[in-house]
Amino acid sequence: MAQAYETRRRLCGAHGWSEEQVELVPVRASGDKIQDRPLADIGGKALWTKELDQWLGEGQIDAAVHSLKDVETIRPDNFVMAAFLPRADRRDVLIGASTIAAIPPGSKVGTSAPRRASQLLNQRPDLEVVMFRGNVATRLAKLQAGEADVTFLAAAGLERLGETGVGTPLETGDWIPAASQGAIGIECAAGNEAALKAVAAIDHAQTRAEVLAERALLEALGGTCHSPVAVLCEADGDSISMRAALFSPDGAERVEGEARFAIGDDAAAKALAADLLSCAGPGTRPHFGGAG
């Protein structure tokens, strides 16, 4: 809802509308309803989008607001990502310890994200990963109840909720975030020209360039919700720098690569994906469909 409020504020600012002219329609996704199992085991990222897709397809809403890192890489052709809002902090925040190195040996670390779990075990194989899901308040409550000693949250989510003093942000040089982390995407039905035009007014070109490049890498890797992959793009002028890493689920294997290329050059992102897969070990390669 915080993301929806931000979207409404930007739309009103761009078009001179009052808040009453933009109706917010809360939709509770399956990903929120089912919290006792990892998403990858029960339908993956589609659990965050299927209800919104249905309402968008039926015309009950004109636009859907997505936390883009939770949106499937390949989307139905009848939807268009009409705008990306300016990207917020893309870092992960560590809750319960000051650094990865400072986590006490043998601690339980709560996460349901394959990327976070494998990246953690790559640095700290002595730690135990336990399944942890829910919104910010739920995860902090679980931590307080002792279900885990440490957990991760996205800095962007904490920022949007005004919880900027919680935990320690992990710098991207040491800890690579998820594709599209910190980005909000606004999706419309392909045939809804009025909505597409209205939403396009708040599109942020740099964010669009970065997240589309990151998603091009994911598509080329053939990654799924089970695939431990981290990637970060940073646009600078007409070019983008990309850094990506693949892991084995147990963290024992890590392969990393970098590339710099012109904005919109999806072929370069796909080439980096191919390089990573060619260097990936037997514990990593089977978790990426592009390896075939």
Q: Are strands 108-110 and 128-130 parallel, antiparallel or unpaired?
A: parallel
The tokens describing 60, both together, are 């009950």
Q: Are strands 92-95 and 150-154 parallel, antiparallel or unpaired?
A: antiparallel
Beta carbons within 8 Å of 127's beta carbon, 6+ residues apart = 103, 105, 106, 107, 108, 109, 120, 121
Task: Return phi, psi of residue 163, to 5°.
Answer: -105, 50
Burial of 239 (0-12, 13-18, 19+ CB in 10 A): middle
Beta carbons within 8 Å of 289's beta carbon, 6+ residues apart = 221, 222, 223, 224
Between the CA atoms of 207, 212, 217 and 223, what dihedral angle is there, to the nearest 10 degrees? Answer: 100
Q: Which of 70, 89, 92, 149 is catalytic?
A: 70
Asked whether the beta carbons of 132 and 159 are under 8 A apart, the reply is no
In the 8-state DSSP scheme, what is residue 149?
Answer: S
In the 8-state DSSP scheme, what is residue 104?
Answer: P
Q: Alpha helix locations (H) across 148-281?
A: 155-160, 193-200, 205-221, 266-279
Asked whether the beta carbons of 247 and 118 are under 8 A apart, the reply is yes
Q: Catalytic residue at 70?
A: yes
- In our burial notation (b when 16+ CB lie closer than 10 A, e otherwise), range 214-229 reads bbbbbbbbbbbbebbb
How far is Cα 47 from Cα 31, in angstroms, rounded to an integer?
A: 5
Active centre residues (catalytic)? 70
